[in-house]
Amino acid sequence: MADPLPLEPPPEDHAGLRVIALFKLAKGTLLFLASLGSFRLINRDLDALARGWAKHLNIDPENHLARWVFTQASEIQPNKLRHFGYMLLLFALDQFVEGYGLWNNYAWAKYLLLIATGFGFVWETFQLIRDPSLVHFAGVSFAVAILIYLYCMFRTERRSASPPPPPSQ
């Protein structure tokens, strides 16, 4: 007796999506840790903390850049650190959700990635034009690579989902 036909085709394994998902999950983890660090700095003497780091790194405290950092650190308000920490938490949550969706090959996650990468491409292109650097060029290149990958993936999925053409007579 012949095996029954499967009801739906087996899911395609998209190794590229898995790599992007791992990147998103790693970025989410780093953002989460940064948010914890931001919350930990609330109500601490940031000027003294910055001076301690400068001493530890053997940076001259009379250096123009060091004095600027000390001034900026002393002006940071606890409310701003708290808001910054919450923003980092929200962004980390976004990265975790997107990474989870991409790992499981969900369509909504692919569209979310397309939108986020499109915005990232526009932003990095603007930055590259305003301030040409290798970092901005790498950002634009990375976004273009993801957009090309998504285009090819969507095209392949559309072709496999469309019904076969009727036989010609």
Write down the residue that tokens 């992007």 correspond to.
20
For the stretch 132-143, pLDDT in tens is: 999 999 999 999
* CB contact at 8 A, 70 and 50: yes
| Ranges assigned E (strand) in 26-98 | none
Distance CA 131, CA 162 (A): 45
Phi first, then psi: give them for residue 127, nearest 5 degrees: -65, -40
Which pLDDT score, from 0 to 100, does residue 49 have?
A: 86
CA 40 centroid distance within chain: 23
* CB contact at 8 A, 143 and 124: yes
Which pLDDT score, from 0 to 100, does residue 3 have?
A: 53
Closest CA to 16 of 121, 146, 162: 146
Write down the residue that tokens 């790194």 correspond to.
57
Which pLDDT score, from 0 to 100, does residue 10 have?
A: 44
Regions of the chain short of the pLDDT cut 70: 1-13, 162, 164-165, 168-169
* CB contact at 8 A, 99 and 28: yes
Which pLDDT score, from 0 to 100, does residue 157 have?
A: 83
